[in-house]
Amino acid sequence: MHNQTTEILKPYSINNDNKIEFVGGHGFSNHKRHLILNREFGSSILIDHEHYQQLKNKIPTDDLQFKLIQRGFMKVPGSHECQSEESILPKFFIIDLTQACNFRCTYCFRHLEKESKTISTKVLDSIIDYIADYCGKTNQREIHIQPWGGEPLIAWDKICRIQDRLKGKGITSIITIESNASLITKKLAKEAYQRDIRIGVSIDGLEEIHNLQRRLANGKPSYDKMIQGMMNLREGGYGIRHGIISVFTKNSLPHLEEMLEFFAVELKVDRFKLNIVKDSPVMKDKGLCLSNSEIKDFQLRLLKKLIELNKRGYPIIELNVLDKLQNILNRNKSNICISRGCMGGKKMIAFDMDGRIFPCDITDYKEEAVGSIFDGKELITLLEKAHKEKDFFSEKTSELCTDCPWWFFCKGGCTTAIKYKKGVVKGVDAAECVSNRTLYPELVKLILNEPEMVKVLTKNKLEIV
């Protein structure tokens, strides 16, 4: 276990004619190397002990002052202000294509048991045209589309239609689908690969847990169908370059290590995403949700197991860990969803089957619509108005947020998770709060003590030298 100290570095001025101010920060130390983090803007800097002492003693050298100015930790008259607010400029579009689903997952937060509606071609074309018009006005030529459901592959023809129609308007769409994989035939896999459509397979880990949580609509287990679909994807051209998304529940908790072992060793997966199950009033099995202490346990064990697998020669990463490492070291917006707090209504929006526009995938909560494509109003206008008027966009804080080092990256967490759990947007996303307060300090420890693991766990995106 590595020792690490954390302290708050208070702001101060340097008494010289240049009017230099240190704006303060959180200092994390292992007594050899130190990471300073600005909670308000998410910038950081790594320095050795000698420079850390200079900073603490208010005698930073000119070289250190320059580095601190460029990272937003010091100000001189005329220096630029760090920016923390995100502009309203959606680049990621979720389209609710179908409410039909051939699965009945125990944690599903949609009421789809009796639904089979799929979006009409007329409304879909209108949504695509609305997106294309917006892209033209905002000079965007490449956007992300996530067809959503239900099981989106039930509406495969509509997915192809989205891509083709946008292409006809000169817009490249990067299409990402999260699928239960049961409908992935060899033919579909090949066509999806040729179309460069990204597909993530939902798999809840070991067979027993997967079948417990993800049953077919007829009540039968789904594991074999999922595996067959995944194998079809691989043979269709994807190899192992398809996504893996798992919903992590109380059922999964005792088996976390086995689950990761299975992904890395048996399935030879090199990246996956574990999403902690979201609590909601419509969840059939309330016993699936993790307590705060279980979330903490999960995050610690996840990181430990990832490191162990990589050291054993299995190059596997978890995407939330990747996002958070990038956040600390260069606040990269790799996660469109919550890299810097909720991006709903800023960088991403969702459309329902009637053309209503939502800040995120909360299309079952009609009161959260910010407008409709049929209102005759431009997207940015609708979103700007909604930001002023709707609770969805209000600041989310709790007493724990005061002085929390991870504030910039969290900002109260996932707004939709709060809405699902409470029915209203009030307070913070408690699960994300616990996750951040657990995982970020561990990642800082890793950065300070085993910097070589950063390269491994970010697939060479970041390297500490």
Partner 1 sequence: MKVYSFTKENIGLFYLSPYVEFIISKDKTVFRNDLFNKITIAPPIKGNAELVIEELKKGIEPDLALQFIKQNFDGNNPQTILDGLLQNGIIE
Among 16, 57, 83, 402, binds partner 1 (CB under 8 A): 83
For residue 305, CA distances in Å to 90, 292, 325, 370 come to 36, 20, 16, 42
Among 9, 20, 37, 47, binds partner 1 (CB under 8 A): 47
Q: Does 70 bind partner 1 (CB under 8 A)?
A: yes
Nearer to partner 1, 1 or 465 (CB): 465
Among 9, 37, 45, 362, binds partner 1 (CB under 8 A): 45
- Report d(CA 51, CA 63) in Å as an integer: 10
Among 14, 123, 380, 464, binds partner 1 (CB under 8 A): 464
CA 426 to chain centre: 21
Binding span for partner 1 by CB under 8 A among 48-56, 108-116, 136-144, 238-246: 48-56
Among 12, 14, 30, 46, binds partner 1 (CB under 8 A): 46
**Nearest alpha-carbon partner for 443 in 320, 308, 260, 259:** 320
**Nearest alpha-carbon partner for 197 in 222, 181, 177:** 177
- What residue has token string 């760090």? 82
Q: Does 457 bind partner 1 (CB under 8 A)?
A: no
**Nearest alpha-carbon partner for 327 in 34, 39, 16:** 39
- Report d(CA 366, CA 377) in Å as an integer: 18
Among 22, 41, 148, 358, binds partner 1 (CB under 8 A): 41
Least distance between partner 1 and beta carbon 28 (Å): 13
Q: Does 64 bind partner 1 (CB under 8 A)?
A: yes
Least distance between partner 1 and beta carbon 393 (Å): 20
Q: Does 452 bind partner 1 (CB under 8 A)?
A: no
| Residues in 90-149 that interact with partner 1 by CB under 8 A | none
Tell me whether residue 141 is exposed, middle or buried, using C-beta atoms within 10 angstroms of its C-beta: 0 to 12, 13 to 18, 19 or more: exposed
Least distance between partner 1 and beta carbon 465 (Å): 5
Least distance between partner 1 and beta carbon 391 (Å): 27
Q: 317-321 contacts: CB < 8 A, separation 24 or more? A: 317/270, 317/271, 317/272, 317/456, 317/457, 317/458, 317/459, 318/271, 318/272, 318/273, 318/274, 319/271, 319/272, 319/273, 320/273, 320/274, 320/275, 320/435, 320/439, 321/439, 321/443, 321/457
Q: Does 33 bind partner 1 (CB under 8 A)?
A: yes
Nearer to partner 1, 47 or 295 (CB): 47
| Residues in 318-337 that interact with partner 1 by CB under 8 A | 329-331, 333
Q: Does 379 bind partner 1 (CB under 8 A)?
A: no
Read off the DSSP letter of residue 102: S
For residue 188, CA distances in Å to 144, 313, 343, 413 come to 21, 33, 32, 36
Check if the beta carbon of residue 108 is closer than 8 Å to that of residue 151.
no
Q: Does 214 bind partner 1 (CB under 8 A)?
A: no
Q: 299-302 contacts: CB < 8 A, separation 24 or more? A: 299/435, 299/438, 299/439, 299/442, 300/438, 300/442, 301/256, 301/257, 302/256, 302/260, 302/274
Q: Does 80 bind partner 1 (CB under 8 A)?
A: yes
Binding span for partner 1 by CB under 8 A among 38-46, 153-161, 260-268, 383-391: 38-46
- Report d(CA 287, CA 208) in Å as an integer: 17
Q: Does 81 bind partner 1 (CB under 8 A)?
A: yes
Report DSSP letters for 197-219, one per residue: -EEEEE--SSHHHHHHHEEETTS
Q: How many of the chain's residues bind partner 1 (CB under 8 A)?
A: 32
Among 48, 142, 164, 208, binds partner 1 (CB under 8 A): 48
- Report d(CA 298, CA 397) in Å as an integer: 24
Binding span for partner 1 by CB under 8 A among 77-85, 138-146, 188-196, 239-247: 77-85
Check if the beta carbon of residue 6 is closer than 8 Å to that of residue 27.
yes
**Nearest alpha-carbon partner for 438 in 255, 303, 275:** 303
Among 144, 161, 195, 461, binds partner 1 (CB under 8 A): 461
Least distance between partner 1 and beta carbon 324 (Å): 15
Give, for 321, the enclosing helix (H) or strand (E). helix 319-330
Least distance between partner 1 and beta carbon 377 (Å): 27
Binding span for partner 1 by CB under 8 A among 276-284, 355-363, 402-410, 456-464: 456-464
Which pair of tokens denotes residue 95? 């389209």
Least distance between partner 1 and beta carbon 55 (Å): 11
Among 5, 13, 18, 61, binds partner 1 (CB under 8 A): 61
Q: Does 72 bind partner 1 (CB under 8 A)?
A: yes
Least distance between partner 1 and beta carbon 331 (Å): 7
- Which stretches of the chain bind partner 1, using CB under 8 A? 33, 41, 43, 45-48, 50-51, 61, 63-64, 66-67, 70-72, 80-83, 329-331, 333, 451, 454, 461-465
